[in-house]
Structure 1
C-alpha cells in the first residue's frame, strides 16, 4: 500500500511523496526503522521506485519523492526554480520533514546526482547512498541539443497508452532493440487529456532542469561524500565501466555493482538483479552506525 504525504520543498514548492507500507498501528515502530528515500531520474516519477520500495518496506521505512516539475509535485514556471540547489533542498526537506534521517538515499540518473550532492552538502542527513547509472563527467552542449531534439520528436498526443508503450519500446529512434520495460516506464509518466495522452511534465522545464548540471563535471561533489556509497550500472547503461570505477575511486567509501543484461532502467526492467546487487549494501549500512553525522 502506498500512502501519499506532501512535503514543502525549497521556495514553498509542494512536493508529493509516497510511503510504501501498510499504515502502522505503532507510529514509533515505523519511525525506528531505517529510512530510505528514493529519487527518480529526469522525466521520471516516484512510482518508478514502487517495486523496490515495497520490497524493502518490511525492514525499512521507504519513501519515494516526485521531484519538482514531475508527477504530482508542483511545476513552478520560473527557470530559477529548477536549479540544482532547489533539488537538493527538496531532498533535504523530505528527509527532515518525514523523519527519515539519517537516511539511505537511492537515486537514478538525475536523482542520483541529487543524492550525492545531498550527501556532500548535508552529511548529517545521509547514512549511505546508492547511485544508479549517473555520470560524474560533463555531458556538454551536444548532449543537451540531443535531448531537446528527442523531447521534440515525441508524437504527442498519443491516442492510447498502448501507443505510448509501442513508441518508447519499439519506434523511438533511441531504441536499439524492442524493450517493453522502457515502454512501460514511459507509460507511467503520461496523463490523459481531451486530445489523448501527454507527459505529466513540461518538456521545457525538463530541459531547464537538465541544463543546470549537464555542462559541469561533478567529481568534486563525489569526493566530498563521506558516507558509504554504491555506484550501480547496467552493462548496457549510459555510465561506462571505466567511468563508474573512477567514480568509486573518487569516493572515500565507494563500492561498485554491475547488473548484466540491463541498461539505463535497470531498477525498473530487472528488479530481481537490481535487488541482488543493492540489498546487501543497504543491509550492511543500516546495520551499522550512521556515517556522516
Structure 2
C-alpha cells in the first residue's frame, strides 16, 4: 500500500512523496523501523520504485519522493540546482522524521544521496548509489542530450508506442531494452493530442547543467556513512570508475549486477533487491555519524 504525503521542499516548493506500508494500514511501530528514502533519477518518478519499496517495507519505513520537476511534485521554472535538490531531500527527511535514513538513489538520485550525506551527515545512516558517475561529463554530453530530446517523436499515440520507441526504435539505443521501454511508458501521460512526458524537457536539461561540468570526488570523500556503489555490466558507470568511487568513499563497498544496463533495479530486480537488502542489514546496527 502506498500513501500519498505532501511535503514542502526548498523555497516552499510543494513536493509529493509516497510512503509504503506493509499491509493495508500502518501500525504504530512502523514509524520506529529503520527508514529508507528512495530517490529516482533524471526523468524518473517515485512510482517506479514500487517493486523495491514493497520488498523493503516488511522491515523498513519506506518513502519514495517525486523530486522537483518530476512526477506529481511541482514543476517551477527553477531553480534546478544541486543545492535545491539536496535541500528538498533534507526537508523530506526532517519533515517526515526519517533520520537517520538510508538513502537509495538511482542516477541523479544517487548524486543527491551522496551530496546529502556529505553535507548533512547526521541525517543519513547509509547510501546506495546506483549507476551514477563521479567524473565531469562536459558540455558535449549536454549537447548529446539536447539532440536526443529533439529526436523524440512526440506526441506518442499510446503507451505501446512509447514502449516500442524507447525499448527498440530509439536510434541512441544499442539493442533491445524492454525495461527501458517500460520505464518511459511510466513517465508519460495522456493529453488531447497524444502521450507526452510528465516533465518538461527543458527542466531536465537545466538539472543536468547543474552537475555535468564538475567532478564529484571531493564530495564522495566527505561521505562518512557506509556507502554501496552498484553498477550494471552494461550501464553508464564503468567498472574502473565505480571502483575508484569505492576507494574515494571512506566506508565504500561495491556490487556488480550482470545482464543489467543503466536501469539496474528494473533490468535485474532480484539481484538488485539482494544487494540492497544485504547492505541494509549490514548498516542497521552501525552508529550514525554526527555533523
Matches of 2:103 and 2:284 in 1, distance apart? 12
Which segment drifts farther, 171-180 or 118-127? Answer: 171-180
Structure 2 unmatched ranges of 5 or more: none
Deviation at 1:26, TM superposition (A): 3.5
Matches of 2:290 and 2:260 in 1, distance apart? 32
Match among 149, 162, 169 for residue 164 of structure 1:
162
Matches of 1:153 and 1:122 in 2, distance apart? 39
Matches of 2:36 and 2:100 in 1, distance apart? 9
| C-alpha distance after superposition, 1:16-37 (max 9, x if no partner) | 100111354533x011100000
1:103–1:126 CA contact under 8 A, matched in 2: yes
Count of residues in Structure 1 that have an aligned counterpart in Structure 2: 290
Tell me the TM-score normalised to structure 1 length.
Answer: 0.97
Partner of 1:152: 150
Deviation at 1:288, TM superposition (A): 2.6
Any idea what SS the aligned residue of 2:43 has?
coil
Matches of 2:229 and 2:83 in 1, distance apart? 22
Deviation at 1:289, TM superposition (A): 2.6
Partner of 1:31: 31
Deviation at 1:173, TM superposition (A): 1.2
Instruction: Give the ranges of 4+ consecutive aligned residues of structure 1 lying more than 2 Å apart after TM superposition.
Output: 22-27, 287-293
Matches of 2:67 and 2:151 in 1, distance apart? 24
Deviation at 1:108, TM superposition (A): 0.5
Tell me the TM-score normalised to structure 2 length.
Answer: 0.98
Deviation at 1:180, TM superposition (A): 1.1
2:259–2:267 CA contact under 8 A, matched in 1: no
| C-alpha distance after superposition, 1:101-160 (max 9, x if no partner) | 100000000000000000000000000000000000000011000011111111010011
Deviation at 1:292, TM superposition (A): 4.0
1:44–1:189 CA contact under 8 A, matched in 2: yes
Report matched runs for 1:128-207 at 5 Å. 128-207=126-205
Matches of 1:37 and 1:179 in 2, distance apart? 27
Structure 1 unmatched ranges of 5 or more: none
Matches of 1:228 and 1:11 in 2, distance apart? 30
When the two chains are superposed, the root-mean-square deviation of aligned CA atoms in Å is: 1.0
Partner of 2:263: 265
